[in-house]
Amino acid sequence: MISYHKLDITLTPCAVLPHPFIGSTLRGAFGVSLKKVVCINPSYTCEGCFAKENCLYYDFYEAKNKAHQYRFDFKLNPKNYDFSLYLFEKASDKLPYVVSAIHKMLTEQGLGVKRDKYTIQNIACNGTTIYKEGAFDLSNTTPQRFTPKEIGTKIALHYITPLRTKYKGKLLSSTPPLETLIYSIHNRLCELTNMPKTRLTFTPSYKELQTSVRFTDQTRRSNRQKTKLQIGGITGDTVYDNIDEKSLIYLQLGELIGVGKQTVFGMGKIFIEDLEKECETTECVEL
């Protein structure tokens, strides 16, 4: 359905806690480093560049009206700058440039206002170490293919980082209908795989049991616009039962590619908890 690399970057602990939402810091710093790694234009500008159609930086940061084939992944309120980076489809072929930019970003350029530099403890690609003690080895890196797991029809859907999406033309601030989530994931899949957007071939079926969702405000600093931008969205949990099989597959895909807008910053991270499996492992009984 979709191919990808997942990079997991582990750093030495930092003395000062990062911002509660590190997505903007990571994406901004990564862009600066990536441009230094790949740019071959003497003018160092994208406008009118002879090479922009084949430039990874242009594709990731400057190309308009297209889905960027990557996303950052991390925890809210982190104690360190450990993070993950997903590369999808053709972006997976650019792995050497990406890891080179990450290395430059962390060890030479630095993060945050003070440009703090970090020692990289480990970089893993799809679970296999590719960088340790200053040496890279990409010889065993093969893109993974999304494969859904078998999970029960009763789940808890956790919104880990703010989900920012619209419903009937307005920004959602409460629990979205499951159909809205499924359709958002479907559209993102079409964009990432360069396929035309189509309607769903099924109607999601489910029963919503309970929900605890709230709107969480977040801001990011835009160096380009020289201002702070609102990137708030919903966080929380919703419990569903009797979800159809196709909807479960789409939700698992959403765990991989993210849901809603601004996923490149780490927005729209979801996690599916299989409540039926949990019940089996704890030997639940009906009283």
Is it the case that residue 285 has pLDDT exceeding 90?
no
Q: Looking at the domain covering 155-280, what would its CATH class be? A: alpha beta
pLDDT in tens, 185-207: 999 999 999 999 899 999 999 99
Average pLDDT, stretch 226-255?
A: 90
DSSP string spanning the chain?
--EEEEEEEEEPPPSSPPPS--HHHHHHHHHHHHHHHH---TT---TT-TTGGG-HHIIIII--SS--SEEEE--SS-SS--EEEEEEGGGGGGHHHHHHHHHHIIIII-BTTTTB---EEEEEETTEEEEETTEE--TT---EE--PPP--S-EEEEEEEEE--EETTEE--SPPPHHHHHHHHHHHHHHHTT------SS----EEEEEEEEEE--EEEETTTTEEEE--EEEEEEEEES--HHHHHHHHHHHHH--SS-GGGT-S-EEEEEHHHHHHHTT----
- Enumerate the domain spans of the chain: 3-145, 155-280
| Chosen CATH of 3-145 out of 1.10.600, 1.20.120, 3.30.70, 1.10.3470 | 3.30.70
pLDDT in tens, 56-112: 999 999 998 889 999 999 988 888 899 999 999 999 999 999 999 999 999 999 998
Is it the case that residue 216 has pLDDT exceeding 50?
yes
pLDDT in tens, 106-148: 999 999 888 889 999 999 999 999 998 889 999 999 999 999 9
Check if 3-145 and 155-280 are the same fold: yes
